[in-house]
Amino acid sequence: MFDASTKPYLIRAIYEWCVDQGYTPYLAVQVDGRTRVPMEYVKNGQIVLNISYTATHKLKIDNDFIRFAARFNGVSRELKIPVEAVSGIFAKETGQGLFFQVGSPGAPIAGDTAPTSLPATPPRDEPPSPQSPKPARGSHLKVIK
């Protein structure tokens, strides 16, 4: 019998946690041939996307793909991201979240802050919010093997 990956469930859980806490959920993606994202924003084979309610339209996180529409420089684009290409989901304001080994379904990796190889903020066409960022707190998330 085939066991489903826990990765899409963990992605949905961290997304809901971000929304409940008032944080902005960001998705880190390792881009490959199956990933449909605006290639002009891909750097070093990676892209970081704001997947908040205000930044996306028709967001759907299912067990195989994450689909939504988003605007890039005022132009609406349809994005389709394989769940296995997701390398992390985290809160922009705190860096807390989960990161995964790409290609290893559901395997979180150590650390719950944004890796240094990821840009601090993704390209977007909205101005930065006037709110001051909340101070970082110690993590309460743990790596499960």
Show me where the domains of the chain are located.
7-99
- Span 62-87, mean pLDDT? 96
- Span 90-107, mean pLDDT? 82
pLDDT over threshold 70, residue 80 = yes
Q: Considering only CA atoms, which of 122, 112, 90, 69 is closest in space to residue 11?
A: 90
Q: Considering only CA atoms, which of 107, 95, 111, 12 is closest in space to residue 60?
A: 12
For residue range 110-137, list pLDDT tens digits in order. Answer: 444 343 334 444 444 444 444 444 555 5
Fold of 7-99: SH3 type barrels. (2.30.30)
> What pLDDT does residue 99 have?
94
pLDDT over threshold 80, residue 62 = yes
For residue range 25-35, list pLDDT tens digits in order. Answer: 999 999 999 99
pLDDT over threshold 70, residue 6 = yes
Joined together, the tokens standing for residue 76 give 């609406």
> What pLDDT does residue 134 have?
52
